A and B are shown apart, each in its own frame.
Chain A
């Protein structure tokens, strides 16, 4: 049954991504849509107030500067709201001010679309901070990534021009016409399944079987945290944010109560990143180009799903030694159920773990820290590949396009021709920038891990002994450096050391690739277009898809195999004895 569920998932994803991709292309090309007719007056009013003119297009430097200024404004707001939340309304659980280092970490985390969580949602944040600080960044950090991608696409389509479009317009349209309507629909469906949506304090309920404790009186009540979860969960899935409303994220029954809500939330993870492949094809005027990128991503995603499912269903020697029935059937999921929810079982957990790390979503419906060594290796590697297998909204595809540039360059070297892609010659500048975009996050992940294991303040956060402890640190920096946000959550990361170090890794992982992509966009837009000839490498066929997948896997493997050998691989080999 598990593989059938995954098959239906991939089919549903493709069926929804194609029309959504076409719709998004219309939005970015400024063509009429029904939504634009309804919300158009609001959009134009916003531009007038902000002093934005549609015909005022930006070069890459001004586009990049606008991204940075907007991100700084967002950072300051999220930081201050966390510090001031006890003085502000909508705080029924009386949360106190968040510490400065945790506020820094969380502000960076949500502005960079990472949504790493050093804090526990229901124990730290007021409803106001959740909606007004984090909820807003869920939208606008996603929209920022989409805008940067659109600017890069314009770099391919424009000729001898410096104009890449207007960041403010791309940002507003992404939010208004794509993220908001999709989120509203998903949120309401999720409420129908049982996701909570209210501004209430925790509900006190009486326990049927009061809990006897040796020291104190019996516990007779259970307090159930409440809040506006559905509206936040919808956008955290769709915007590849992943920051949970509750600590247990999408494993919490109030965030993800049923198998259907699980299926839809998992679809939400990959929907927009997959759709953007088709947006790309439509905007560059050759839909086959989008299809080939989508195919390359699927070609990594599907085997990864199979691998995690197999590893988790097989369980571990420790589970077998404890004398458990690990066989999967219609009577029980079996396998490694430590840190997994029963309603999702092995199949629903494995599918999610792969989707959330292939995309830079980072929400979890099971605890990756408790995965088998090999089942945990796959999500770790998917992040380390640079979050380009669908990846973050916008950032995933512009990351993949960096690999495309490297792939056509390598192909060009093989046949001794100047590499070109979509009619644009790829020169030394583009290669330098693509290398920077690819290597920046790798550098943040590995250097951060090295520093953390070298110092007591890093090692002290580890929850599990041995090689697994190293994996926890490697996972944290791979997650932060690639803006994923999921964790081997045993690591105690809410410390000044980790809050600062992971915050810096997130900044590198977000802004280095983003600015490099914009620089490439600027350089490409200025070039003439060369007509395709007999010797032009076809970038829409199966051969190129395989080449691209090979480049992504090779760069990832060469960079991270030594580190993986010290963590999950040695743990797997050790566990067998």
Chain B
């Protein structure tokens, strides 16, 4: 047993220096050199103030904004320091209640389509999902246009301009970045 202790400890130290110090350090240097904005969290700045990350969803509750996907992070939704999903099981009565409450809130808009898209009502895995589906964005256009007193066509055009397709036409899902859309909406005025 003692015969193995020397190679075990020496190799552990060497490999720790290599994989635990040199590797993250060199990757950090290279990453911040080549992709400084991404490495720092794709942060958005306006007039010198940080107003969000392109990758992290924010809570939107005002009818004047497009709403993102429900988030069950604690203690507040979209908590960027405590990512988490709901972990509700498929047959949990609490899930059925949450779904019903969200659906009835969405149906307060009489002009919205009858069935809300699944992604607008179900909570995301990270609690920080920045996207909704194009259908979920279109579902909300009448509410947003009415609340802002904007022409419906202008809001629809803005949504369509913000639809991102699948990567290489193949990977992932078509989507709309909610924060980006809402910032553009504020800029309309």
Contacts and interface: CB of A to CB of B under 8 A. Distances in A.
A468 interface: yes
B90 A338 contact: yes
A140 B123 CA distance: 36
Interface in A35-50: 46, 49-50
Given A348-B172, A571-B91, A324 B115 contact: yes
Contacts of A326: 118
Contacts of B42: 194, 257
B103 interface: yes
B140 to A, nearest CB: 13
A188 B23 CA distance: 12
Interface string A244-259: 0011100111100111
Interface in A487-511: 488-490
A183 B27 CA distance: 10
Interface string B23-34: 110111011101
Contact of B91 (A179, A198, A318, A349): A318
Nearest to B99: A322
Contacts of A179: 19
A490 B89 contact: yes
A370 B118 CA distance: 14
Contacts of B55: 194, 253-254, 257
A516 B27 CA distance: 38
B171 A253 contact: no
A183 B121 contact: no
Nearest to A367: B85
A51 interface: yes
A135 interface: yes
Given A196-B40, A224-B41, A260-B171, A202 B118 contact: no
A74 B19 CA distance: 13
A62 B1 CA distance: 9
Interface residues of A, number: 138
Contacts of B171: 5, 259-260, 262-263, 348
B143 interface: no
A166 to B, nearest CB: 9
Nearest to B163: A331
Contacts, number: 414
A363 to B, nearest CB: 12
Interface string A330-373: 11111111111111110011000000000000001111011111
B7 A66 contact: yes
B16 interface: yes
A120 interface: yes
Contacts of B84: 120, 247-248
Contact of B41 (A46, A226, A574): A226
Contacts of A341: 124-126, 129, 131
A457 interface: no
Interface stretch (A156-164, A228-236, A277-285, A414-422): A228-236
B56 to A, nearest CB: 6
B93 A230 contact: no
B69 A342 contact: yes
Interface string B161-173: 0000011001111
A344 B130 CA distance: 12
B81 A122 contact: yes
Contact of A253 (B34, B130, B138): B130
A321 interface: yes
A23 B182 CA distance: 50
Contact of A4 (B9, B59, B135, B170): B170
Given A198-B40, A257-B55, A322-B96, A348 B87 contact: no
A212 interface: yes
Interface string A132-168: 1101101110000000000000000000000000001
A132 B134 contact: no
B78 A222 contact: yes
Contact of A466 (B43, B91, B118): B91
Interface centre among A212, A232, A342, A366 (most CB of B within 10 A): A342
Contacts of B49: 206
A33 interface: no
Contacts of A74: 12
A223 B80 contact: yes
Contacts of B44: 205
Interface of B: 1, 4-12, 14-16, 18-21, 23-24, 26-28, 30-32, 34-35, 38-44, 49-62, 65, 69, 76-93, 95-96, 99-100, 103, 113-119, 121-136, 138, 166-167, 170-175, 179, 182-183, 186
28 contacts: A51-B7, A52-B11, A66-B4, A73-B8, A140-B19, A180-B23, A187-B31, A197-B32, A208-B182, A231-B24, A247-B82, A247-B84, A253-B55, A253-B126, A319-B99, A324-B99, A324-B116, A325-B113, A332-B133, A333-B133, A339-B85, A339-B87, A339-B124, A342-B124, A345-B173, A348-B172, A463-B87, A488-B87
Given A70-B4, A191-B27, 10 more contacts: A184-B23, A191-B34, A196-B40, A198-B32, A224-B80, A230-B39, A248-B125, A254-B41, A263-B171, A342-B132
Closest 5 CB pairs of A and B: A259-B172, A490-B87, A464-B89, A251-B125, A248-B83
